């Protein structure tokens, strides 16, 4: 960083990690333990849901809910409640509500509280915990149904086994190793399997209640109706819209949308070339005072590669603009953004909006040639203190120390890292072990 705070491109790789600021000690054993990736808030929330369900099981056994004459209803209610939680916490309106509530805290509150609230984007842990618990409750109900004596007879049992197979497939394909290798399979199993489960749950609930009319006046009927509306809402906003695309290099496409929608800064939009097959979400980049928005799409796989090489004239969009991790910036007085490559996309709208004083460190290969001189100039106009680290000239930096140097130089309260999974975790968990609030995507979907 130049002494005057002007944007610079580093040309001295030896300085990476050799600046005037040395990382502080990592703290005691407790901080090192709780900041491990395996124990992040996402997993704590999942564990909390499972513990809560364990407590419910213990209470139900003590109260005689099961085994007993009402076992089917009690087990079904527990299963449906968990399934409802798993579905609703992934609904766009609910996600935006989570972020809105978390970011109401004023910056005068203690940093420790704001740091915790900033982890709101770990809400996916609720989804995972509830999905696992719901599956267990449902399998328990199926065992009771198979034993006979429940309303609905054989049809309810057959429907139950179909639901169980689908739920096992949905949970199985969501396991991290399989999801990482076969993401398309994971996405389609969740979509089509989830729809099929919803239909079958309606059928089974009607059989167990003694008919559709009887179901309409019961809590399971109301819950299923709410889930149906929640799942349908994004698809009711499905539309095919024209786009205009700039391609500053073979690596990046800047996609412009002007179909009467101007999303809020820090949100994302899901787009597709085939609405029933594959969806990809990208950060929205609205410009202050102008309608419409942009997406920055870089070559990062088969779908993005085909998009850049075979640019379409129209794409499908659905749902509503959804808040992302960088929206937690308003919890802090000053923040540092550390972005690599196309990670500039989620950062750019926050720089343009200027809601919070921010310093940008952008690590990429030949910024102007790859992303376009116009985009780089736009960034520098809004944040003159930007540090551009060109990996073609300087090599790969020590990301943790680069983030810490910017954090100290800018006197920031937090660091937000937008990068690939390995680097994000290295920076976020590395800084937090040193007692510095840090945030970044967790790749939970």
Q: What is the pLDDT of residues 103-158, one digit of tens each?
A: 999 999 999 999 999 999 999 999 999 999 999 999 999 998 888 756 677 888 99
Buried b (16+ CB within 10 A) or exposed e, 217-244: eeebbebbeebeebbeebeeeeeeeebe
Give pLDDT, residue 221. 94
Say whether pLDDT at 17 is over 80.
no
pTM of the model: 0.89
Q: What are the helix (H) ranges across 64-175?
A: 71-88, 92-102, 111-117, 124-146, 153-173
Instruction: Answer whether the bond into residue 102 is a cis peptide, omega within 30°.
Output: no
Say whether pLDDT at 21 is over 70.
yes
Q: How far apart are CA 434 and CA 85, in angstroms?
A: 35
Per CATH, 8-31+326-440 and 239-323 having the same topology is answered: no
Q: Taking the mean position of all CA atoms in its chain, how far away is CA 400? A: 23
Q: What mean pLDDT is predicted for residues 176-184? A: 85
The 10s digit of each residue's pLDDT in 260-278 is 889 998 899 999 998 888 8
Give pLDDT, residue 36. 67
Give phi and psi for 318, each to the nearest 5: -150, 170
- Banded pLDDT at 4 (limits 50, 70, 90): very low
Domain ranges of the chain: 8-31+326-440, 36-236, 239-323
- Nearest Cα residue to 46 out of 137, 138, 122, 135: 122
- Banded pLDDT at 1 (limits 50, 70, 90): very low
Residue 262 and residue 291 in contact, taking contact as beta carbons nearer than 8 Å: yes
CATH H-level superfamily of 239-323 = Translation factors (2.40.30.10)
- Banded pLDDT at 3 (limits 50, 70, 90): very low
The 10s digit of each residue's pLDDT in 38-86 is 567 899 999 999 999 999 999 998 888 877 778 888 999 999 999 999 9
Q: Which CATH architecture has domain 8-31+326-440?
A: 3-Layer(aba) Sandwich (3.40)
| Torsion on CA atoms 114, 120, 122, 126, rounded to nearest 10 | 130
Give pLDDT, residue 12. 36
Say whether pLDDT at 176 is over 80.
yes
Q: What mean pLDDT is predicted for residues 25-39? A: 65
CA-CA distances (angstroms) from residue 332 to 41, 105, 118, 279, 326?
A: 19, 10, 9, 33, 11
The 10s digit of each residue's pLDDT in 292-339 is 999 999 988 888 999 999 999 999 998 788 998 989 999 999 999 999
283 beta partners:
268
Say whether pLDDT at 417 is over 90.
yes
Residue 132 and residue 95 in contact, taking contact as beta carbons nearer than 8 Å: no
Give pLDDT, residue 223. 96
Say what percent of the chain tops pLDDT 70.
91
Give pLDDT, residue 276. 86
How would you list the strands of the sheet with 8-9, edge to edge? 8-9, 387-390, 358-364, 335-340, 414-418, 438-440
Say whether pLDDT at 228 is over 80.
yes
Q: What mean pLDDT is predicted for residues 272-292? A: 88
Give pLDDT, residue 405. 95
Mean pLDDT of the chain: 88
179 vs 86, higher pLDDT = 86
Residue 361, CB-side half-sphere exposure with 13 Å CA sphere: 29
- Banded pLDDT at 31 (limits 50, 70, 90): low
Helix (H) or strand (E) run with residue 53 in it: helix 41-63
Say whether pLDDT at 216 is over 80.
yes
Q: How far apart are CA 176 and CA 301, in angstroms?
A: 18
Buried b (16+ CB within 10 A) or exposed e, 329-360: bbbbebbbbbbbbbbbbbbbbbbbbeebebbb
Say whether pLDDT at 8 is over 70.
no
């Amino acid at each position: 960083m130049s002494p005057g705070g002007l944007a610079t491109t580093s040309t001295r790789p030896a300085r990476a990690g050799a600046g005037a600021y040395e990382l502080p000690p990592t703290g005691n054993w407790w901080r090192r333990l709780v900041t491990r990736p395996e124990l992040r808030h996402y997993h704590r929330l999942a564990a909390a849901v499972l513990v809560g369900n364990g407590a419910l099981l213990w209470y139900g056994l003590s109260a005689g809910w099961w085994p007993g004459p009402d076992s089917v209803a009690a087990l079904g209610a527990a299963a449906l409640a968990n399934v409802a939680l798993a579905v609703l916490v992934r609904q766009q309106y609910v996600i935006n509500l989570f972020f809105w509530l978390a970011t109401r805290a004023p910056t005068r509150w203690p940093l420790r509280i704001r740091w915790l609230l900033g982890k709101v984007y770990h809400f996916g842990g609720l989804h995972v915990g509830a999905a696992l618990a719901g599956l267990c409750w449902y399998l328990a109900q199926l065992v009771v149904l198979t034993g006979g004596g429940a309303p609905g007879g054989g049809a309810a049992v057959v429907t139950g086994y179909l639901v169980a197979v689908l739920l096992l497939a949905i949970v199985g394909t969501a396991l991290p190793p399989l999801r990482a290798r076969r993401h398309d399979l994971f996405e389609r199993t969740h979509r089509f399997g989830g729809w099929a489960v919803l239909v079958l749950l309606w059928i089974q609930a009607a059989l167990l209640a003694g008919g559709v009319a009887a179901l309409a006046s019961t809590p399971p009927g109301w819950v299923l109706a709410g889930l149906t509306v929640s799942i349908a809402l994004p698809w009711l906003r499905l539309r095919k819209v024209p786009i205009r695309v700039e391609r500053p290099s073979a690596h990046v496409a800047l996609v412009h949308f002007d179909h009467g929608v101007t999303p809020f800064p820090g949100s994302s939009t899901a787009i597709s070339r085939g609405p029933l097959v594959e969806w990809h979400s990208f950060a929205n980049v609205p410009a202050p005072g102008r309608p419409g928005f942009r997406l920055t799409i870089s070559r990062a796989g088969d779908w993005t590669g085909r998009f850049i090489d075979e640019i379409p004239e129209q794409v499908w969009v659905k749902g509503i603009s959804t808040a992302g991790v960088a929206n937690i910036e308003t919890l802090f007085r000053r923040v540092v953004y550390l972005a690599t490559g196309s990670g500039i996309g989620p950062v750019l709208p926050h720089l343009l909006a200027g809601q919070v004083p921010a310093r940008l460190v952008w690590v990429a290969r030949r910024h102007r040639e790859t992303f376009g001189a116009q985009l780089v100039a736009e960034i520098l106009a809004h944040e003159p203190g930007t540090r551009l680290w060109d990996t073609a000239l300087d090599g790969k930096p020590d990301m943790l120390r680069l983030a810490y140097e910017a954090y100290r130089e800018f006197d920031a309260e937090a660091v937000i890292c937008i990068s690939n999974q390995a680097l994000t975790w290295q920076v976020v968990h590395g800084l937090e072990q040193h007692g510095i609030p840090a945030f970044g995507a967790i790749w939970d979907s």
